[in-house]
Structure 1
Amino acid sequence: MQVIITAVGPDNRGLADPIVHHVSTSGANISEIQMYDHDAERIFAMLLRIEWPGDSPSVDELREKMNEIGQQTGLSIRTWSRPQPSRKPRLAICTTYRPEPALAVLRAIRDGRIKADPVVMLGNRSAVQGVAEQFDVDWQMVGDGKGNPDNDRMVEIFDEYDVDYIVLARYMRILPASTCWRFAGGRIINLHHGLLPPFPGFRPYQDAFEHRMLTYGATIHFIVPELDAGNQTIHQATFTVTPGTPLQEIIRIGESDHEPTCLVEGLRRVVDREVELHFHRVVATGGS
């Protein structure tokens, strides 16, 4: 069984040693290890991807041991394994203003096209709260009056709801690196409303329009803690307009129709285990 262990906390010596020692002496095979040590910020972060042998203690027991190590070292440690086929993945859907992406995901789940459970929706604005209520999904407001998110509270919510995947459905705030590390390894999925890599940032429609492009698109990608640049593409799709199409019409097509469809397909690929993130690269797995 594949297990991902992440650890984040104040920098110090020997933080990785007890984690690596325990999993290796328990017979696990370490298939990926990444460590981040930022001297200026005094932050330590680690990702460990292992194959946990079936004859070893259960993943729950491994999680208890990792929590014990976390208490001893001052690290925030999470032990996660993808749900077995008998349990649907639990989703947290993060939103800001646009309701269409979240609505498309919830409809796809309702219709059986995405086999997952939407256990909570979060917003740094309240614009999409009605969509959560329409589908009877718990709503959590995490933004202040100016839309500034409480990032610590978001992490608490993800843990409280035992979330498997975090879906940034046009969530228009950048997650801090510490949050990305806590849920690293292909657990955070982002909808970018433009084609990557040529059109990053918050104005991809406008940027493409200024370059006199006739082809526009959206990109679904895994979030990577250090980069968060969208190079880890899960799915990308385009639409073409005729010369002279006004920018506002292009944006309308993209926001209303294209982005939601693209997100549904990208999320389906992750939930159906067609793709995973290994060493910052998306790899095809062939499904479960």
Structure 2
Amino acid sequence: MERRILLTECPDAKGLIAMITGACFRHQFNIIKNDQFVSETDSRFFMRTEIEGDFKNGNGDIMVNEIISSIPAGGRCRLEPESRKKILILVTKEPHVLGDLLMKSYSGAMPIDIVGVIGNYSVLEDLTAKFNIPYITVSHEGISREEHEKRMLEAIAKFKSDYIVLAKYMRILSPEFVNHFPKGKMINIHHSFLPAFMGAKPYQQAFDRGVKIIGATAHFVTESLDEGPIIAQDVIKVNHNYSAESMARAGRDVERMVLDRALSRVIADKVFIHGNKTVVF
């Protein structure tokens, strides 16, 4: 028995849950788990259904087509396999997020295969090599941003991945670069509780403001810096004894935890992008 994830999104209407679960029944798929949500602001319906059964002979595709023909216009439905996802990681110099992902992939704690790591410095190459994962250095020094991004795209094209993770990749990406990838393809971990303290040096910004909590935000990357749909966030308490540097040290655990939570949900197909928000099951 195979398991797959049925993902449906459309304008809300009466009877949608009955229609979708009825289609599963007619095609002899067993429903393991079902989650649904309707956005009150625009009456948009979202549903994630874990099913198991015999998907041979295109039975699953037939069911999806049946659902698509029945839901309101402007809706989408797709069937995703339960499988390990291929991840490409972009880094700069900080090892804590990369190291956490490497260990989780190696140990099986997260169902991901890291296909490669690309950095604008070679600092993290030795760490990556310990896990027998290819590392490419694409230096930004002495060249324009346009030329660097061109070389980055060439390096990224060498790998086939489901998602690109910016694991403390400390370069601002141009809209032209971001637009090379489908929406929802790139995930960033930002070391602040967005929308506060966007851009560079957020811990210094937090220290200067005298905040009593610091946090981290995992979000999808869009053309607008640090303004993409948020997937996960968390915070920890700080006080007047913290310097900007000690805030940064304390924040590393939050960054790892938040990215872990976000990536785990994304690779399990539990995240719908809804405008500049997300629906996370």
Task: Give the TM-score of the pair, scaled to structure 1.
Answer: 0.66
1:247 has 2:244 as partner:
yes
Give the counterpart of 1:218 among 216, 226, 229.
216
After superposition, the CA RMSD in angstroms is 2.5
1:54 has 2:61 as partner:
yes
Cα distance change of structure 1 residues 215 and 232 upon mapping to structure 2, 3 Å threshold: same
Question: Unmatched 5+ residue regions in structure 2?
Answer: 1-5, 8-59, 63-77
Give the counterpart of 2:279 among 269, 272, 283.
283
Cα distance change of structure 1 residues 159 and 277 upon mapping to structure 2, 3 Å threshold: farther
Q: For residue 30 of structure 1, what is the aligned residue in structure 2?
A: none
The answer on whether the counterparts of 1:90 and 1:116 sit within 8 Å (CA) in structure 2 is yes
Q: For residue 232 of structure 2, what is the aligned residue in structure 1?
A: 235
Q: What is the correspondence of 1:111-122 to structure 2 with a 5 Å cutoff? A: 111-122=107-118
The answer on whether the counterparts of 2:117 and 2:133 sit within 8 Å (CA) in structure 1 is yes
1:259 has 2:255 as partner:
yes
Cα distance change of structure 1 residues 279 and 259 upon mapping to structure 2, 3 Å threshold: same
Q: Secondary structure at the match of 1:190?
A: strand
Please state how far the C-alpha of 1:111 moved relative to its aligned partner: 2.6
Query: Once the two structures are superposed, what CA deviation does each residue of 1:117-139 show, in whole Å capped at 9, x if it has no partner?
Result: 10010000111112211111110
1:185 has 2:188 as partner:
no
Q: Distance in 2 between matches of 1:267 and 1:260?
A: 11
State the identity as a percent.
Answer: 29
Please state how far the C-alpha of 1:147 moved relative to its aligned partner: 8.4
Whose radius of gyration is greater, 1 or 2? 2
How many positions carry a matched residue from both structures? 208
Q: Secondary structure at the match of 1:54?
A: helix
Q: For residue 124 of structure 1, what is the aligned residue in structure 2?
A: 120
Please state how far the C-alpha of 1:140 moved relative to its aligned partner: 0.8
Q: What is the correspondence of 1:67-216 to structure 2 with a 5 Å cutoff? A: 84-85=81-82, 87-145=83-141, 150-216=148-214
Q: Flag as ranges the 4+ runs of structure 1 deviating above 3 A.
A: 144-149
Which AA in structure 2 matches 1:242? N
Q: Distance in 1 between matches of 2:100 and 2:165?
A: 12
Please state how far the C-alpha of 1:219 moved relative to its aligned partner: 0.6
Which AA in structure 2 matches 1:54? D
Q: For residue 16 of structure 1, what is the aligned residue in structure 2?
A: none
Question: Unmatched 5+ residue regions in structure 1?
Answer: 3-52, 56-80
The answer on whether the counterparts of 1:121 and 1:138 sit within 8 Å (CA) in structure 2 is yes
Which AA in structure 1 matches 2:209? H
Q: Distance in 1 between matches of 2:84 and 2:142?
A: 35
The answer on whether the counterparts of 1:92 and 1:118 sit within 8 Å (CA) in structure 2 is yes
Q: Secondary structure at the match of 1:234?
A: strand
Query: Once the two structures are superposed, what CA deviation does each residue of 1:56-75 show, in whole Å capped at 9, x if it has no partner?
Result: xxxxxxxxxxxxxxxxxxxx
The answer on whether the counterparts of 2:86 and 2:113 sit within 8 Å (CA) in structure 1 is yes
Cα distance change of structure 1 residues 252 and 139 upon mapping to structure 2, 3 Å threshold: same
Please state how far the C-alpha of 1:280 moved relative to its aligned partner: 3.1
Query: Once the two structures are superposed, what CA deviation does each residue of 1:175-210 show, in whole Å capped at 9, x if it has no partner?
Result: 221221221321100011111001111111111111
Q: Distance in 1 between matches of 2:155 and 2:199?
A: 27
